[in-house]
Amino acid sequence: MTATNANITTLEAENAALRQRVSNLEARLASSNGVTATTINHATIEELRSFRTLVETAPQAISIANIDGVITYANPAFHELIGYDTLIGVSLMALHFEEDLPTIQANVQDVTRSGVWRGSGRLRHRNGHAIPVRINAFVIRNDAGHPVAMTGMFEDLTAEVQREERLRLFEALVENAPDAIGVADFAGAILYANAAYKALTGYGDDLIGMNGFDYIHNEDRHAVQVALARLAEGKAAFLEARIRRKDGGIVPVAATMYAQMSPNDRLRIIGFLRDISAQKRAEEERFALQQQVIDAQRAAIRELSTPLIPISETAVIMPLVGAIDSARAQQIVDALLEGVAAHRAEMAIVDITGVQVVDTQVANALVRAAQAVRLLGAQVVLTGIKPQVAQTLVQLGVSLEGIRTAGTLQTGVRLALDNDANRRRNGSR
């Protein structure tokens, strides 16, 4: 954007006329006070030089325009603000956006009428982007009191507007966050709570000013005190706690807290709380399912470790393998009784070929099993007794009274089949 030669010529003429007027006034003042014009001129020049230095080095953008709005002066800060190398002869209106012109024209009229105007607006940078500014404008008048020029000081508000925009964005993010977010002093008084926090506790706007420790579950108070100690040391704190809602409901939450120093040098607590009710329910459900799996596995193991196999109408076999502890010994007794009763067996063969160690506990379990089976009217046949097992039983002094023994499983099976055959023959006579 450049000024026309005509405009520049006109401005130069106006400046020359003003300089002549200043010289005339200086001469008149000097003659009336008895001071030479040279002395006045030197003092004035020095004063103007100081004033010009002040304006030229000012961080604020400063411009002077004639009464028609054409710029006659702009300091370096103004040039830097809007990106132009020269602005002399440029209309103020050209530095604004077209949609702002009606407002700008109204503001100029206010300045002309009242002499002063303060407000905010936008300047258009050379590259086209908007610069938010705070404006202080006033009128320069001649000796007759008529306005001859306008001066404006412009303060760049870009950083301030960006801060306000970030603040608005932050407030929107916090207010619409799904997690509860709050700020409290170190005594627990709540200074701020977002919408999610108010909804989580059920207190709504009444939450502000309440003590956040009052609705912590009693059993979680110690964990909160530990967290506060960490915050006092400048560390972050993480914990799970339960809070009591206004309606009495208990809500488990995962809390993350940080400490921050307030402007008055007091610690504030910034907390992020997430409702983990669904997570806890899922964990409980998973635990229940895991327990079901464990129980099913135990049942399968019991069944596999104490299998009961019917071999005829009147006989069943229970082959035992591996070590036998007290729990398994009881399983053997239970499974044997249930199998004999279910199959109405007259003979139960317990094969211990796969049992490597027979101690008092195992021997007593076998005796208990035999005694219980006899009460059901059946007989126990113990097979697979190795020489070392037989020697152990003798050394332990275990009485196997009521238990029939056989060296091998095959012998025991043959006894069962013979018994079954005799039963059939006797039944046919």
Residues 146 and 182 in one domain: no
The residues with which 85 forms a beta bridge, in sequence order, are none
pLDDT score recorded for residue 210:
92
pLDDT score recorded for residue 319:
86
CATH assignment at residue 330: 3.30.750.24
d(CA 357, CA 231): 60
Residues 330 and 195 in one domain: no
Is residue 170 domain-resident? no
Query: How confident is the model over 114-140, as pLDDT tens digits?
Result: 888 899 999 999 999 999 999 999 998
DSSP 408: S
Give 50's pLDDT tier (boundaries 50, 70, 90): confident
Cα dihedral sign for 157, 158, 159, 164?
A: positive
The widest CA-to-CA distance across the chain, in whole angstroms, is 169
The answer on pLDDT for 428 being more than 50 is no
Residues 235 and 380 in one domain: no
Residues 9 and 134 in one domain: yes
The answer on pLDDT for 400 being more than 90 is no
pLDDT score recorded for residue 422:
80
Is residue 282 domain-resident? no
Residues 216 and 362 in one domain: no
The residues with which 254 forms a beta bridge, in sequence order, are 240, 274
CATH assignment at residue 35: 3.30.450.20
d(CA 41, CA 356): 126
**In this prediction, what percent of the chain has a pLDDT beyond 90?**
34
Residues 42 and 135 in one domain: yes
What's the rounded mean pLDDT across residues 332-356?
86
Residues 50 and 156 in one domain: yes
Model pTM score? 0.51
Is residue 172 domain-resident? no
* Closest by Cα among 160, 73, 154 to 118: 154
Query: How confident is the model over 78-89, as pLDDT tens digits?
Result: 999 999 988 999
Query: How confident is the model over 219-275, as pLDDT tens digits?
Result: 999 999 999 899 988 899 999 999 999 999 999 999 999 998 877 778 899 999 999
Q: What are phi and psi of 200, to 5 degrees?
A: -60, -45
Name the average pLDDT for the chain: 83
Residues 139 and 185 in one domain: no
Q: What are phi and psi of 124, to 5 degrees?
A: -100, 115
Query: How confident is the model over 406-423, as pLDDT tens digits?
Result: 888 888 888 888 877 787
d(CA 85, CA 90): 12
Residues 244 and 333 in one domain: no
Is residue 338 domain-resident? yes
pLDDT score recorded for residue 298:
63
Residues 244 and 342 in one domain: no
Give 305's pLDDT tier (boundaries 50, 70, 90): low
What's the rounded mean pLDDT across residues 165-179?
92
The answer on pLDDT for 375 being more than 80 is yes
* Closest by Cα among 294, 303, 375, 371 to 332: 303
Structural domain span for residue 109: 5-161
What's the rounded mean pLDDT across residues 265-293?
89
The answer to whether 194 and 207 are in contact (CB under 8 A) is no
Separation of CA 94 from chain center: 49
What's the rounded mean pLDDT across residues 67-77?
91
**What is the distance between the terminal CA atoms of the chain, rounded to a whole angstrom?**
133
- Looking at 161, 186, 210, which one is the last position of a domain? 161
The answer on pLDDT for 11 being more than 90 is no
The answer on pLDDT for 333 being more than 70 is yes
The answer to whether 417 and 316 are in contact (CB under 8 A) is no
Structure tokens at 16: 């020359």
DSSP 322: S
Domain count, the chain: 3
List the single range of 27-36, 46-55, 165-174 with lowest mean pLDDT.
27-36
**DSSP characters over 132-201:** EEEEEEEEEE-TTS-EEEEEEEEEE-HHHHHHHHHHHHHHHHHHT-SSEEEEEETT-BEEEE-HHHHHHH
Residues 254 and 336 in one domain: no
- Looking at 161, 189, 210, which one is the last position of a domain? 161
Contacts 24+ apart (CB under 8 A), 239-246: 240/276, 241/216, 241/217, 242/216, 242/217, 243/200, 243/201, 243/215, 243/216, 243/217, 243/273, 244/215, 244/216, 244/217, 245/200, 245/201, 245/202, 245/215, 246/201, 246/202, 246/203
Using the structure block, give the residue that is written with the tokens 């009336």. 32
Contacts of 335 (CB under 8 A, 6+ apart): 302, 306, 308, 318
DSSP 328: H
Is residue 287 domain-resident? no
Is residue 337 domain-resident? yes
The answer on pLDDT for 153 being more than 70 is yes
Q: Which comes out higher in pLDDT, residue 213 or 37?
A: 213
Is residue 151 domain-resident? yes
Residues 29 and 88 in one domain: yes
DSSP 72: E
* Type of residue numbered 67: I
Is residue 289 domain-resident? no
Give 62's pLDDT tier (boundaries 50, 70, 90): very high
Separation of CA 48 from chain center: 61
Give 1's pLDDT tier (boundaries 50, 70, 90): very low
